[in-house]
Amino acid sequence: MPDPKAVNEFFSDIAPGYDRANRVMSSGVDVLWRNYLARRVNATQPKQLLDLATGSGDVAFTLAKKVRSAESIVGLDFCQPMLDMAEIKKPKKKSASIIQFRQGDCLDLPFEDDSFDSITISFGLRNLADRHKGLTEMLRVLRSGGSLFVLEFTQPDKWLRGLYYFYLKHVIPTISGAITGNENAYEYLGSSIEQFPTKAEVAKELENAGFTSVSHKGLTFSIAAVHSGVKAG
Ligand SMILES: C[S@@+](CC[C@H](N)C(=O)[O-])C[C@H]1O[C@@H](n2cnc3c(N)ncnc32)[C@H](O)[C@@H]1O
């Protein structure tokens, strides 16, 4: 499991170039994945939303635009430089005024039980030092009937794996290192994706944490996936 201090340092270091590196690495497909995530959230009509590991805020901004029922969105991250980027980027539009960014740890959420109708975590679960603890915290702060949506990299379809892992190991660190000035952080990205459990294993982890109606859907040849689970009523 990743060391939280090292993870925080990585993200502090790459924060200013994080968005640009994302767009280049994924050729913009990450935007489509976040839009899909927001459409799934919108279908559940939540009012109080929590976006964990919010980073530079892209999911929170997408949720504010696309979830019509949203009354408040909290974006939480433990890395202050990423949150600083989110504050700088926050649109002046009325829809974004419902977003509040807050520093905090996904493993010890600073919220009462049953506080949110919907929780999202995008490219964050992989970085948690203790996924079971993180997932049980998410279940605790979710209201009965509320949903968790996890957007995360996963193992792609078999035919693509060789090429994809080559890209992760040899191409991404060079390109993203040039953009962010930190090649090591992107070597970490590759190894953390390769070591991450399969979709079926993540589904089991959600069930073990107490979520029901667990499902998953692969996106773009299963380079990424959206996992979801519900807190039973
Ligand atoms: C790859 S970024 C994802 C950012 C954003 N969700 C996105 O989709 O672009 C992962 C984020 O997880 C945050 N993170 C990792 N572990 C965390 C923890 N235990 N508590 C809060 N944030 C954490 C990092 O600081 C980083 O901003």
Domain count, the chain: 1
Alpha-carbon span 100 to 115, nearest angstrom = 15
Q: What is the pTM of this model?
A: 0.95
pLDDT cut 90: percent of the chain above it: 72
Average pLDDT over residues 124-131: 96
Has residue 72 got a pLDDT over 90?
yes
- Could you tell me if residue 127 is inside a domain? yes
Query: Burial of 117 by CB count in 10 Å (0-12 exposed, 13-18 middle, 19+ buried)?
Result: buried
Query: Burial of 18 by CB count in 10 Å (0-12 exposed, 13-18 middle, 19+ buried)?
Result: buried
- Could you tell me if residue 185 is inside a domain? no
- Could you tell me if residue 206 is inside a domain? yes
> DSSP assignment, residue 111?
S
Which three-class secondary structure state does DSSP give residue 57? Answer: coil
- Could you tell me if residue 69 is inside a domain? yes
pLDDT digits (tens, 9 = 90+) for 160-169: 999 998 888 8
pLDDT digits (tens, 9 = 90+) for 193-224: 888 999 999 999 999 999 999 999 999 999 99
Tokens of 80: 């202050």
Segments forming the whole domain that contains residue 53: 4-13+27-158+197-230
CATH at residue 224: 3.40.50.150
Distance in Å, CA 207 to ligand 1 centroid: 22
Distance in Å, CA 38 to ligand 1 centroid: 18
- Could you tell me if residue 72 is inside a domain? yes
- Could you tell me if residue 213 is inside a domain? yes
Taking the alpha carbons at both ends of the chain, their separation in whole angstroms is 32
- Could you tell me if residue 18 is inside a domain? no
The alpha carbons of the chain give a radius of gyration, in whole angstroms, of 17
Distance in Å, CA 55 to ligand 1 centroid: 5
- Could you tell me if residue 83 is inside a domain? yes
Q: Is the CB of 11 under 6 A from ligand 1?
A: yes
